[in-house]
Amino acid sequence: MDTPIVEIIITEDDLIRLDAKGQFFELVDGELVEMNPVGLQHSDITGTVYRTLYDFAIPRKLGRVNMDSLIYALHIHPETGKRSARVPDTSFTRKGRLPKDFDRARPFPGAPDLAVEVVSPGEDADDLIGKIRDYLRYGTEQVWVLYPGPVELHQYIQGEKGSRIYFEADILDGGTLLPGLSVRVGDFLSCRRNRDVLLICHRWEKSVSVQVAVSASGRMSS
């Protein structure tokens, strides 16, 4: 008699256990998808996006801003039990989304209201499209995809076909999700090299972008 094949269902608990071992994965229709390591530029940009959203949303008590380690349990197939779970680079969820007495050691139950993905060199285009589709399919209101160079931000909005494309000097607004948010796309680039200065950093203070340039002579101007 042939031994029946038992399909193993991978869950968000498995992702947490792998994460504790330094192995980072997402779940796509029950399949593990390894997350690629990123460089310093990617880390700088995601950090700046996080700070920008945090400085805007938290004082206004709009909701939660989360960094790039939070697992979102997007979907469980009703027949097969297979899961889909994603880990955006930065995310925002509206106030009141968490169930009462929710176990905070668990992944977030559902999709983020805003998912931000920063594109790394060599990132697979099909994988990126899959992420965008998953977010929108399972309820995310906006997805921002930021390309560091040349600088572009593609804004996907629930119910709209295609995306809105913003360039470095363009102003992005938060729409109905983050009303009142207005930020120059180029300000998401926290640090970059320039032939006239050693380093240009954009620091957010009271929701105002203050540019500080450190010259080769060591003098500081603002």
Q: How many helices (H) and strands (E) does the chain have?
A: 3, 17
Are 92 and 66 within 8 A, CB to CB?
yes
Determine, yes or no, domain membership for 149: yes
Q: Do 168 and 147 have their domain in common?
A: yes
Q: Do 220 and 125 have their domain in common?
A: no
Q: Provide CB contacts within 8 A for 198, sequence distance 6+.
A: 214, 215, 216
Q: Do 174 and 207 have their domain in common?
A: no
The pLDDT, as a whole number, for residue 18 is 74
Residue 203's domain comprises 190-222
Q: Do 119 and 176 have their domain in common?
A: yes
Determine, yes or no, domain membership for 195: yes
Q: Do 140 and 220 have their domain in common?
A: no
Distance (Å) of CA 46 to CA 3, 73, 187: 49, 21, 12
Determine, yes or no, domain membership for 41: yes
Mean pLDDT for each 10-residue chunk of the chain (222 residues)?
Answer: 60 77 81 86 93 97 93 91 93 93 90 96 90 97 94 96 96 96 90 37 35 31 34
The pLDDT, as a whole number, for residue 191 is 53
The pLDDT, as a whole number, for residue 1 is 53
Q: What is the length of the chain?
A: 222
Q: Do 174 and 194 have their domain in common?
A: no
Determine, yes or no, domain membership for 47: yes
The pLDDT, as a whole number, for residue 212 is 27
Q: Give the 3-state secondary structure of residue 80.
A: coil
Per the structure, the count of domains in the chain is 2
**Domain of 24: which CATH number?**
3.90.1570.10
Determine, yes or no, domain membership for 3: no
pTM above 0.85, yes or no: no
Q: Do 66 and 113 have their domain in common?
A: yes
208-214: strand order across its sheet: 191-192, 199-205, 208-214, 220-221
Determine, yes or no, domain membership for 121: yes
The pLDDT, as a whole number, for residue 2 is 57
The pLDDT, as a whole number, for residue 158 is 96
Q: Do 129 and 24 have their domain in common?
A: yes
Q: Which two tokens stand for residue 5?
A: 């094949």
The pLDDT, as a whole number, for residue 59 is 97
The pLDDT, as a whole number, for residue 214 is 29
Determine, yes or no, domain membership for 42: yes
Q: Do 184 and 221 have their domain in common?
A: no
The pLDDT, as a whole number, for residue 151 is 94
